[in-house]
Amino acid sequence: MYNRSITDRMIDAANWLLLAIVALLMVFPFLHIFSVSFSSLRDVLEKEFIMWPTNWVTDAYQTILASNNFIRSLGVSSYITIVGTVVSLLLTATMAYGLTRNVTGQRIILLLIIFTLLFNAGMIPTYLVVKEVGLMNSTWSLIIPSAISAFNLIVMRQFFLSIPNELTEAGLIDGASELRIFTSIMLPLSKPSLAAFGLFYAVGYWNKYFEGVLYLNDSSKWPIQVVLRQIVIMNEATAALGNEAMLMLENPPPPVTIQMAAILMATLPILIVYPFLQKHFAKGVMLGSVKG
């Protein structure tokens, strides 16, 4: 280690402090939601702002867990997220790799892909396509129409292009087939990019809302975001309307404690994924693979 000057250290300390504060700011809302969800409605009303529950109550969670709806939709979302991410990564990686090789029509295919980045068909045409191919009311309707993100595909293709050609050639010399090169050389080298795009896809699938409403007729297949919004939304919707419509509803919305508990339960699972994938981002992979 080289000797560091005092200014260096001070800058480091300031940096560290600043980042810590920013990190804390990110934790703040979560802590608030957490605390409200474990407080009684009375405490929430009485205190200006809750940072930690004074009297721990689990009423809100009992209410949520009492209905199968919530748990089932968590299951649905987990399924969509896991299957969807695998499908998406598989399709994106194979297509991106394919487009790095000399395939006839490569340019046209690329152009078509870029085209979808700029224009999309809109809700009703997409709905019609989903309906006509028979995906209606299937959880696959949340996966297949958005299985490949054009943006991710192009970035991943760029990533494959950045892998030195010598590696492919070395594989070929050793008698590997194209498939073998892809699975044994390219994929292992792309772990960081797979982890990054996997995370993007996973979060995307976990947050699916509109497609759930649009394509699923059976409420038992609703993903968590739909169920969650049905618990939380009424306040926002009527605030936007600017009238008293909400008070004339047949049923008043659930108290804020239940809403916060629902938000927390719907956010935690996807939040937990982050630390597991994070380690892959940091690893440099290509180091030392090509000499000379």
Binding residues among 108-137 for another protein as defined by CB under 8 A: 112, 115-116, 119-121, 123-131, 133-137
Stretch 20-59: interaction string toward another protein, x if CB under 8 A: --------------------xxx-xxx-------------
Distances (CA, A) of 111 to 70, 141, 175: 43, 25, 33
User: How many other CB atoms are found less than 10 A from the CB of residue 155?
Assistant: 16
CA dihedral (163, 166, 172, 175) positive or negative:
negative
C-beta closer to another protein: residue 125 or 164 = 125
Shortest reach from residue 262's CB to another protein, in Å: 10
**Is 179 among the residues that bind another protein (CB under 8 A)?**
no
Binds another protein by CB under 8 A, chosen from 28, 52, 56, 210? 210
Report the site for another protein in 137-166 (rule: CB under 8 A).
137-138, 140, 144-145, 147-148
Binding residue (CB under 8 A) for another protein from 98, 238, 267, 285: 238
Reduce the DSSP state of residue 251 to 3 states and report it: coil
**Binding mask 84-113 vs another protein (x if CB under 8 A, - otherwise)?**
---x--xx--------------------x-
The residue within the footprint of another protein, chosen from 175, 242, 284, 292 (CB under 8 A), is 242
What is the spatial distance between Cα 134 and Cα 238, in angstroms, rounded to a whole number? Answer: 36
Whether the CB-CB separation of 89 and 197 falls below 8 Å is answered with yes
What does the longest C-alpha to C-alpha distance in the chain come to?
76
CA distances for 118 relative to 30, 130, 165, 175, angstroms: 36, 21, 31, 41
